[in-house]
Amino acid sequence: MSKISPPNSGCRMYEARFPEVDIPVMIQVKEILDVATHVALLEYNNIEGMIMLSDLSRRRIRSVGGLLKVGRIEPAIVLRVDADKGYIDLSKKQLTEEDKQVCEERYAKSKLVHSIMRHVSETMKIDLEDLYIHVGWPLYRKYGHAFEAFKCIVNDPDSVLKPLTRELRTIGADGRQVIKVVPAISEEVKEALVRKIRRQMTPKPVNLCAYIEMTCFEYDGVFHIKEAMRKAEAVSTKECPVKMKLVAAPLYVIITLTLAKEQGIKILNQAAAACMNSIEGHRGKLIIKESPRAVSEQGDKLLTEQKAYSELQKAEVSRDEDSGGEEDTGMGLVDLESISSFGIED
């Protein structure tokens, strides 16, 4: 691909210069006036559009500020397009919930594709629009969305990028024009593109955990609890290995690290069920305190702090017993009702 100095780093996301009528697009509010609002169409290189006051809402408008704020990013639907004059009229009033969902999902994918393309353009010093012309937009046409093509590139880049070509026109020795078909991008640009796609789009494993309270006051109750823990871990699969650990008796955590979140949640539920069946077979008791969820780094930190606090409580109880205090006959040293979700997020 030819290099341009300085390269153009701004370009629309899609091949069409203007959006089609009745299509939802993502906008950013730029200026709010008495009769209209000026917006930028983010997917079309920030070209200007306008929303009339009468197209803001179906309800009676008491304050435009309650509906729009400068800088806010949200969907709107295209009413009219004058390609010659560059006028685009939009509406929020005619936007449905389905339109919003479609627009937000498409924009999220397009934004990721655009960030990858722009990064390659800037690092390789090549024109962004040229990169879209020979790579991005052909992939949009073939795959419906370049995002789907990029997902395939993660595992098999040649199957996606090798078929892409461009015509190179030169003048031969006889003075005639010679048309030669060459790869759409150079090997250097291809390597940079694949590297960035893999860095951005390779699925990352997610930590999942479930918290349970388990007790067994039968003879050899500790061994029955350990057996129940082994039953939970036996539910493991290659994709979702399960581990069960003590937090602070009677609180336990069942964890897995997996690429498939939904499957991981299912496996943790199965592990909890296996654990419950085992312990209840020995007249024990199991209560699920937190259903399986993704756990954040903050959650891990809070969990560690809670465990340390529990150990401190145990040490204080031990000192009380040594000094002749009343014996604490309960198994749980943690106020389970006051325990939050340890920073767990959906």
Percentage of the chain surpassing pLDDT 90? 64
- The CATH-assigned architecture of domain 206-323 is 2-Layer Sandwich (3.30)
Query: Under CATH, which number does the domain 24-95 receive?
Result: 2.40.50.140
Q: Are 242 and 284 in contact (CB under 8 A)?
A: no
Largest CA distance in the chain: 109
103-201 folds as DNA polymerase; domain 1 (1.10.150)
pLDDT for the residue 173 = 80
Token pair in block for residue 3: 């290099």
Locate the domains of the chain by residue range.
24-95, 103-201, 206-323
Per-residue model confidence as pLDDT tens digits over 194-210: 999 999 998 888 999 99
Token pair in block for residue 185: 């991008």
Per-residue model confidence as pLDDT tens digits over 12-44: 999 999 999 999 999 999 998 888 899 999 999
Per-residue model confidence as pLDDT tens digits over 115-159: 999 999 999 999 999 999 999 999 999 999 999 999 999 999 999
Residue of higher predicted confidence among 173 and 242: 242
Spatial distance between the Cα atoms of 11 and 17, rounded to a whole number of angstroms = 10
pLDDT bucket at 313, cuts 50 / 70 / 90: low
Q: Are 291 and 210 in contact (CB under 8 A)?
A: yes
Token pair in block for residue 316: 């204080």
Residue of higher predicted confidence among 277 and 341: 277
